[in-house]
């Protein structure tokens, strides 16, 4: 609603005149044409009528004088207590303590792979996706609505028939085909995907252990989601741009982001800390769904530039309920932006099952926005790679956005602060364990003799080495300088920040000379 119809007031009303002028509609009913305000101008031209008597003024001035004089006496500074001094030197405890409240935090990723994985995608020649085909899958699935109340529908047995998903590798590691999506990878490329997933899982496990040891304040594990992240991450080119949540450690690995950078925010030494443009991998975003709009906007910019890069927005099943995600779908659709919406449906948003987020499979939402959506087996790295490749190619060729729902499972807790035993059953996890993404690919590699025992042994050794590296890096990661909190608040500076920085520095310096003598004085 706008002011257009109400616009302007032509009759002055002002205090003191006593008259209430009539409000008139502006000619043409348009705020831009209407004169909003004659009131102030008229007001000033008139004699002021409602002046206050000056009587109380002198009284209050007299009453005040003595108090004011004494107030001007210089105030003695209280002696600084020893407590203050010691608090200044107490080692930071906050970052070492696990936060009690489950927070929507996540973190970091794997170390870099210099080797083969990026090559893995080169051979994948997925056909450009037709939106009608992708949607055909969805309409068939529409019948499978979650039961009213949601919760009863979840679980390993007795669940309603789930819509079909794109799968190229069965849970048993058997290679199958799909009419629309395929990849053709060499043994070396397949080995690269396996290595990516193993090392990502190892990095993740290491971070969880480091949290338990107090080295990290929090960790958001990706356990179980390796295929979704590696498959999609390896579908990208260096010039593509990724907007992650806080759990995309595997995608970060694919983008060659130094994994120790990812640990910083979970240790509490920074709130992000890497240069997003170094690897075209944006900062982790903790507020749920916010980054999906950034991805849509970035993609709008790519289109304006006439570039053929693609943008990938990662988010989860919980985020699918956020207005920002819906708005991102709208913007991407109406501007035909080259963005792939990659939703990892890991079945749980902390304690809330997907049925609390949606009455339809998430990928079906795309249809209402006017672009295709597809569900892929999120524990099948080949299918995730194939579908993402197709979506990215679609974006590059100017066909606009696409939604991928990677159907997977969060094997661990939401974060290290979470306790999933309060809200989900063990047998559910066991059922998903049978679909493990790494075992699945390993089964395939072994059955087809695409990798030998020496290969697996070498990966295991590399994994151990990575664990050592991550442990060493975190334990030697320095705390930031205290004054760092004042840095980079603004790009062009800000007078108040400068003032407060100087004041705080002076305050801190004031302790230096007395910190020794103050110790032992008690409170």
Partner 1 sequence: MAVQKLPLAKAINASLRTALENDPKVLVMGEDVGKLGGVFRVTDGLQKDFGEDRVVDTPLAESGIVGTAIGLALRGYRPVVEIQFDGFVFPAYDQIVTQLAKMHARALGKIKLPVVIRIPYGGGIGAVEHHSESPETLFAHVAGLKCVSPSNSSDGYWMLQQAIESDDPVIFFEPKRRYWDKGEVDPSAIPAPLHSAKIARQGSALTLAAYGPMVKVCMEAAAAAEEEGNSLEVVDLRSMSPIDFDTVQRSVERTGRLVLVHEAPVFLGTGAEIAARITERCFYHLEAPVLRVGGFHAPYPPARLEDEYLPNLDRVLDAVDRALAY
User: Looking only at residues 119 through 148 of this chain, which bind partner 1 when binding is defined by CB under 8 A?
Assistant: none
Tokens of 278: 């170094």
Q: Has 356 been annotated as catalytic? A: no
Scan for tokens 């000033």, then name that residue: 44
# chain residues binding partner 1, by CB under 8 A: 80
Stretches 51-59, 180-188, 224-232, 458-466: which one binds partner 1 (CB under 8 A)? 51-59
Stretches 58-66, 92-100, 249-257, 407-415: which one binds partner 1 (CB under 8 A)? 58-66
Using CA atoms, how far apart are residues 482 and 263, in angstroms rounded to an integer?
A: 19
User: Looking only at residues 455 through 474 of this chain, which bind partner 1 when binding is defined by CB under 8 A?
Assistant: none
The residue (of 107 and 113) whose beta carbon lies closer to partner 1 is: 107
Choice from 56, 77, 100, 148 touching partner 1 (CB under 8 A): 56
Catalytic residue among 195, 294, 414, 440: 414
Catalytic residue among 35, 140, 423, 475: 423
Say if CB 119 and CB 188 are below 8 A apart: yes
**CA 327-180-117 angle, 5° bins:** 80
Using CA atoms, how far apart are residues 419 and 417, in angstroms rounded to an integer?
A: 7
Concatenating the DSSP letter of every residue in 310-349 gives -EEEEEETTGGGSHHHHHHHHHHHHTT--EEEEEEE-SEE
Smallest distance, Å, CB 256 to partner 1? 16
Q: Has 298 been annotated as catalytic? A: no
Using CA atoms, how far apart are residues 431 and 326, in angstroms rounded to an integer?
A: 32
User: Looking only at residues 60 through 119 of this chain, which bind partner 1 when binding is defined by CB under 8 A?
Assistant: 60-61, 64, 72
Q: Does 479 engage in binding with partner 1 (CB under 8 A)?
A: no
Is beta strand 311-316 parallel, antiparallel or unpaired with respect to 339-345?
parallel
Say if CB 226 and CB 491 are below 8 A apart: no
User: Looking only at residues 288 through 347 of this chain, which bind partner 1 when binding is defined by CB under 8 A?
Assistant: 290, 292-302, 304-305, 323-324, 327-328, 330-331, 334
Q: Does 496 engage in binding with partner 1 (CB under 8 A)?
A: yes
Kind and range of the H or E run holding 49: none
Smallest CA-to-CA distance from 328 within 340, 344, 346 is with 340
Hey, how many other C-beta atoms are within 10 angstroms of the C-beta on 177? 8
Choice from 271, 482, 503, 508 touching partner 1 (CB under 8 A): 271
The residue (of 20 and 76) whose beta carbon lies closer to partner 1 is: 20
Which burial class, exposed, middle or buried, applies to 218 when counting CB atoms under 10 A from its CB (0-12, 13-18, 19+)?
buried
User: Looking only at residues 354 through 413 of this chain, which bind partner 1 when binding is defined by CB under 8 A?
Assistant: none
Stretches 32-40, 177-185, 210-218, 512-520: which one binds partner 1 (CB under 8 A)? 32-40
Q: Left if phi > 0, otherwise alpha if psi is -120 to 50, otherwise beta: which for 325?
A: alpha
Stretches 103-111, 173-181, 183-191, 268-276: which one binds partner 1 (CB under 8 A)? 268-276
Smallest distance, Å, CB 234 to partner 1? 23
Q: Has 414 been annotated as catalytic? A: yes
The residue (of 93 and 488) whose beta carbon lies closer to partner 1 is: 488
Q: Does 196 engage in binding with partner 1 (CB under 8 A)?
A: no
Q: Does 273 engage in binding with partner 1 (CB under 8 A)?
A: yes
Choice from 275, 419, 433, 472 touching partner 1 (CB under 8 A): 275
Q: Please list the residues that pair with 315 across neighbouring strands.
A: 343
Stretches 168-176, 278-286, 379-387, 501-509: which one binds partner 1 (CB under 8 A)? 278-286
Catalytic residue among 234, 294, 410, 442: 410
Is beta strand 352-353 parallel, antiparallel or unpaired with respect to 373-377?
unpaired
List active site positions. Answer: 410, 414, 423
């Amino acid at each position: 609603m706008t002011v257009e119809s109400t616009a302007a007031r032509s009759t002055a009303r002002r205090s003191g005149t006593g008259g209430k002028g009539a409000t008139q509609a502006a000619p043409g009913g348009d705020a831009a044409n209407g004169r909003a305000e004659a009131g102030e101008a008229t007001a000033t031209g008139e004699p002021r009528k409602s002046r206050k008597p000056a009587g109380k003024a002198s009284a209050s001035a007299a009453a005040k004088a003595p108090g004011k004089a004494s107030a001007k006496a210089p105030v003695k500074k209280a002696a600084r207590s020893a407590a203050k001094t010691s608090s200044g030197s107490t080692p930071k405890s906050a970052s070492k303590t696990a936060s009690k409240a489950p927070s929507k935090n996540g973190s970091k990723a794997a170390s870099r792979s210099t080797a083969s994985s990026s090559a893995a995608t080169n051979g994948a020649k997925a056909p450009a996706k037709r939106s009608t085909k992708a949607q055909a899958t969805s309409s068939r699935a529409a019948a499978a609505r979650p039961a009213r109340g949601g919760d009863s529908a979840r679980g390993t047995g007795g669940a309603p028939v789930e819509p079909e998903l794109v799968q190229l590798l069965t849970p048993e590691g058997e290679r199958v085909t799909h009419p629309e999506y395929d990849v053709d990878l060499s043994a070396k490329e397949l080995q690269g995907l396996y290595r990516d997933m193993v090392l990502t899982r190892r990095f993740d496990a290491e971070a969880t252990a480091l949290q338990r040891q107090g080295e990290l304040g929090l960790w958001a594990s990706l356990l179980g989601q390796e295929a979704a992240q590696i498959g999609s991450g390896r579908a990208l080119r260096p010039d593509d741009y990724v907007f992650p949540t806080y759990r995309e450690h595997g995608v970060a690995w694919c983008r060659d982001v130094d994994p120790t950078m990812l640990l910083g925010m979970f240790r509490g030494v920074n709130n992000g800390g890497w240069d997003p443009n170094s690897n075209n991998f944006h900062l982790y975003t903790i507020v749920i769904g916010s980054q999906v709009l950034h991805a849509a906007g970035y993609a709008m910019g790519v289109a304006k530039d006439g570039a053929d890069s693609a943008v990938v927005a990662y988010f989860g099943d919980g985020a699918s309920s956020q207005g920002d995600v819906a708005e991102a779908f709208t913007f991407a659709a109406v501007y035909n932006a080259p963005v792939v919406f990659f939703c990892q449906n890991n079945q749980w948003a902390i304690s809330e099952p997907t049925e609390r987020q949606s009455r339809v499979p998430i990928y079906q939402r795309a249809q209402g926005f006017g672009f295709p959506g597809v569900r892929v087996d999120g524990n099948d790295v080949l299918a995730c790679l194939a579908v993402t490749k197709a979506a990215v190619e679609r974006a590059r060729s100017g066909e606009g956005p696409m939604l991928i729902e990677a159907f997977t499972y969060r094997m661990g807790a939401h974060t290290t602060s979470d306790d999933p035993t309060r809200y989900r059953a063990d047998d559910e996890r066991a059922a998903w364990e049978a679909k493990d993404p790494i075992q699945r690919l390993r089964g395939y590699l072994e059955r087809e003799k695409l990798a030998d025992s020496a290969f697996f042994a070498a990966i295991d050794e590399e994994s151990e080495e990575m664990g050592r590296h991550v442990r060493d890096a975190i334990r030697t990661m320095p705390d930031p300088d205290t004054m760092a909190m004042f840095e980079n608040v603004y790009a062009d500076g800000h007078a108040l920040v400068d003032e407060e920085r100087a004041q705080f520095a002076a305050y801190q310096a004031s302790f230096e000379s007395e910190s020794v003598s103050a110790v032992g004085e008690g409170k």
